[in-house]
Structure 1
């Protein structure tokens, strides 16, 4: 085995271990927290706050996404909680799009690494496209592509669904919510592991030089190529910004860098696989279309407008 292959294998195993531990902990913690939140906040209250009947629900969902430090995968358990609480479909989609892209970590790193002007372009486009896409998907009736089981708690008699009853004392929720959380986790675990494995292999074996070769300043297709590459190349926000800065230093255009960041942070392969347990294929396709469109809009806007130059 050559040294380069050995290094790639080591990076793959290291990334798989890191992501498996991190995402497992995040999924369990967030799912449990959402379950407890549902025990104390009624579905009617969540429906009122995140209603799609007025524009406020869309804006609140976008702001909620902006203040939650979730990556693309850890957004899923929160989304499941919103589905079970019957929140508005459009606002839920806004949260799904905006949460991994506008979280405080990625915005802070963006500002430090690329400056405030680039960060402003990124923030405005990600926020605007998230809200528009959520509204459009609601009006186009994409709610029909949600799997019916996604609205149901995994253990109605001793889980989140039962904990919503006001007749049960709050202190009795803790154990029941944990049982529901663990059953939920076992359901998504195969999806999670497959996504992590594929993403880790791509991370370990995909050469950096290959990315810069096809996404350099001289390539007119650099931005769409970067957007597509970013999806299977699952990297957390804490890593994708420094990596993108290194790629820019090697000659990658900043428009392509922005597309890569949105593709990677907004729609990782692991997230897409997890979403398959919630959505039917047309909704998965719509989700990917929105993220790829957002990535290309941001990339081309930055590359070809005075604000981005």
Structure 2
């Protein structure tokens, strides 16, 4: 589908700039041009489609639905799906998480959203399709949603409400009935410019991260020896997945910045499951996120949340390596 982009990258780097196709610089620049154009095209298309979904599935309606309906456990799944279709990184998901808590949604359900939102979004999906193909993308999406569903359900069983911060407890104690906001009725064509501008704003917002991430990936692709990553994470031993996750947890990056790096991991011999587990830990758990969560959670609750999600991501890594 993107053969024309590869031909363009070959022409630009090898013919126009005259850089050798066998040189490290040529390989790196070719990778950078091809992947940047491909990812930006996919990104805009998928963000635009998800913008349509988000327009007709606002947060307020989800809160109202989850509060009024008895869903027999499916509320964790629905919250996780909503997290998957919202374009937020781990840090930008936290304010929405706070809104869920303030809205009276059960804590486990809010955790389902918080887990899945940074892991699965249109940015990551667009990049995954372009870099790893449809099968890996579908497994990644399904596993991310299941991770949020199971993680939220498990955390919901721990009765963690007493570990919320005093600020949240005070809000819940003094919660007042709010008037419903009547949304203006507009046709799809009237909303289209707003959706298009919103998609472009998201693309512009992650553009720097995309370029930086692909640039790092291109440098690694062109200059890092073939056996460098394979020596530490590519042997297939059981401990490589936990090692990848534990190394990634203290780091921070969004999907736009880390997926190109993951592509190079795989190209250098790291199993795809191990690489995806590394990516999930990087985008789903971070020190900036923990800092923001301190507003709504005690340190003990943050530690429990990080611990459960870390274990779930490790399990996902093992499953990925079996399926992919």
Q: Counterpart of 2:250 in 1: which secondary structure?
A: coil
- Among 291, 297, 300, the alignment partner of 1:273 is 291
Q: Which moved more, 1:57-66 or 1:89-98?
A: 57-66
Q: Structure 1 residues 109 and 220 mapped into 2: Cα distance closer, same or farther (>3 Å)? A: same
Structure 2 match to 1:46: 63
- The structural deviation recorded for 1:94 is 0.5
- The structural deviation recorded for 1:168 is 11
Alpha-carbon distance in 1 for matches of 2:231, 2:291:
29
Alpha-carbon distance in 1 for matches of 2:97, 2:137:
26
Q: Structure 1 residues 51 and 142 mapped into 2: Cα distance closer, same or farther (>3 Å)? A: farther
- Among 288, 294, 299, the alignment partner of 2:306 is 288
1:95-134 to 2 correspondences below 5 Å: 95-134=113-152
Query: Is the Cα contact below 8 Å between 1:226 and 1:259 reproduced in 2?
Result: yes
2:317 is aligned with 1:299 = yes
Q: Which moved more, 1:50-59 or 1:116-125?
A: 50-59
Structure 1 match to 2:86: 68
For the pair shown, the structure with the greater C-alpha radius of gyration is 2
Q: Structure 1 residues 212 and 275 mapped into 2: Cα distance closer, same or farther (>3 Å)? A: farther
Q: Structure 1 residues 115 and 149 mapped into 2: Cα distance closer, same or farther (>3 Å)? A: same
Structure 2 match to 1:16: none
- Equivalenced residues, count: 224
Report the TM-score when normalising by structure 2.
0.61
In the TM superposition, what whole-angstrom CA distance separates every residue of 1:199-224 from its partner, at most 9, and x where no partner exists?
Answer: xxxx9xxx989866532335542111
Gap runs ≥5 in structure 2 = 1-57, 184-215
Structure 2 match to 1:231: 249
- The structural deviation recorded for 1:152 is 5.1
Query: Is the Cα contact below 8 Å between 1:61 and 1:95 reproduced in 2?
Result: yes
Structure 2 match to 1:139: 157
Q: Counterpart of 1:252 in 2: which secondary structure?
A: coil
Q: Structure 1 residues 232 and 50 mapped into 2: Cα distance closer, same or farther (>3 Å)? A: farther
CA root-mean-square deviation: 3.2
2:110 is aligned with 1:92 = yes
Alpha-carbon distance in 2 for matches of 1:80, 1:237:
22
Query: Is the Cα contact below 8 Å between 1:52 and 1:91 reproduced in 2?
Result: no
Q: Counterpart of 1:278 in 2: which secondary structure?
A: coil
Alpha-carbon distance in 1 for matches of 2:150, 2:271:
27
Report the TM-score when normalising by structure 1.
0.63
Q: Counterpart of 2:91 in 1: which secondary structure?
A: coil
- The structural deviation recorded for 1:110 is 1.5
Q: Counterpart of 2:90 in 1: which secondary structure?
A: coil
In the TM superposition, what whole-angstrom CA distance separates every residue of 1:1-40 from its partner, at most 9, and x where no partner exists?
Answer: xxxxxxxxxxxxxxxxxxxxxxxxxxxxxxxxxxxx99xx
